[in-house]
Structure 1
Amino acid sequence: MNKVSPSVMCIDMMDLKHQLEALDQAHVDLYHIDIMDGHFVPNYCLNGDLMAAIRKVSDTPMDVHLMVTNPTEFIEYCADRGADIITLHLETLDHPIRALKQIRALGKKAGIAINPATDIGQLKYMLEFIDLVCVMTVDPGFAGQTLIPSSYEKITAIRSMFTEAGYDVDIMVDGQVKEETAPKLVAAGANVLVLGSSGLFCHDPSEYPEVISKYQNL
């Protein structure tokens, strides 16, 4: 079964509490928390205070996606505010294995995110330290973009890399995951689906249970 992680940045913030209640009742697996610094990506989004507020009303695990230039400075910050998975962009790390070890030392799962144009070759040197790979299927920073077609091939290659080395890993896909693309992403090897405006929040909350179950059972 796939895991579904609604993108909190795509939720109507004026209705956040009620949306979270509806999503929890629909049995989502995770909440995807995008933190952006306006530097690594040209946008700002979410923060630890919101994470702490979510934790007060929901026990659903949070996966934090750090789209910032200096992510290692935010690892403890995110862990203290309730993160269960902390994902750092490979493009921002001088010492990725050290950073992954730091996350695991805090009792959290360690993730690596890769942009569409990033070569996956570096991953083979750190397979044993990675719990999740987040494959960006669009350039990070903004919702509503078009999925980059080479993403499917990249997902398959990553899945093969880990499987052949004897490691199980979650492969998350982030960007334009919707009814038309999700089956092909899962077939390529993805098993964690970040759902945003086009995949989930275009539906009424009354439809969330049916929609989420559909994605979980692709």
Structure 2
Amino acid sequence: MNKFLLAPSIIAADFTHIADEIAACESAGADWLHVDVMDGHFVPTITVGPLFTEACKRATKLPIDVHLMISEPEKYLEAFAKAGANNITVHVETCPDLTGTVKKIKSLGCTAGITLNPATPASALDSALPFADLVLVMSVVPGYSGQVFMPEMIGKAEEIRNKLNALRSKAHLEVDGGMSEKTIPLMVQAGANVFVAGNAAFKHPQGVGQGIKALRASVV
């Protein structure tokens, strides 16, 4: 099993060849498939939903890692679980009862992730941290692909890793936003072990396979 996990963000793929793009991810050794769900409300962009997630599930044996950048995510948890999500991550900013939402996700047979916007302090996660299977650090402002990595999020990742260690938690620490061969090693040092990559994987000049292999080499 890989110590560090790569989760290509399918939102950066060529949607006219989505099955081929997913197959290339598998062949290149991706560990998870990351699905960014945006509603045009919590974030300005609108992307995909449960139907797309279900199509991805049929096209791959990789675990499906769903990131809900949506308002009132509790209304849609069951739909994404039924669509085949293995992990569902929700934002503290959209969950008045974050711990309750985490427990609901688990009751649906999925692992549960929690996340926060760059401007939100890490302490906002404290109440739910003991129950989370994954914590996602956003190293860009959520809502758009291709943004520049925010180096100040290295410190936030370190802070959350220290909190998880203090709890003796086995939760994954995932990072999403501007991940590349240059920035992944920085987040490895901060304690992260799962890396979401969109453009660095799917927009590589030699194709997604080479993109993922290059990212993997940066953490070996």
What is the Cα deviation at residue 144 of structure 1? Answer: 1.5
Which residue of the partner structure matches residue 211 of structure 1?
A: 214
Matched, 1:81 2:89: no
Which residue of the partner structure matches residue 71 of structure 2?
A: 69
Aligned-partner Cα distance in 2 for 1:166–1:33: 28
What is the Cα deviation at residue 199 of structure 1? Answer: 4.7
Aligned-partner Cα distance in 2 for 1:185–1:199: 17
Matched, 1:118 2:120: yes
Alignment of 1:10-159 (within 5 A): 10-159=12-161
What is the Cα deviation at residue 15 of structure 1? Answer: 1.4
Report the RMSD for the aligned CA atoms in angstroms: 1.4
Q: Which amino acid aligns with 2:72?
A: N
Contact 2:179–2:200, Cα closer than 8 Å, also in 1: yes
Which residue of the partner structure matches residue 164 of structure 1?
A: 166
SS in 2 for 1:198: helix
- When the two structures are superposed, what TM-score results if normalisation uses the length of structure 2? 0.94
What stretches of structure 2 of length at least 5 have no aligned partner? none
Q: Which amino acid aligns with 1:89?
A: H
SS in 1 for 2:146: coil
What stretches of structure 1 of length at least 5 have no aligned partner? none
Matched, 1:173 2:158: no
Instruction: Decide whether aligned partners of structure 1 residues 179 and 212 sit closer, same or farther in structure 2, where only a CA change above 3 A counts.
Output: closer
Contact 1:200–1:211, Cα closer than 8 Å, also in 2: no
Instruction: Decide whether aligned partners of structure 1 residues 161 and 8 sit closer, same or farther in structure 2, where only a CA change above 3 A counts.
Output: same
Number of paired residues?
A: 217
Seq. identity, %: 34
Instruction: Decide whether aligned partners of structure 1 residues 92 and 17 sit closer, same or farther in structure 2, where only a CA change above 3 A counts.
Output: same
Which segment drifts farther, 86-95 or 123-132? 123-132
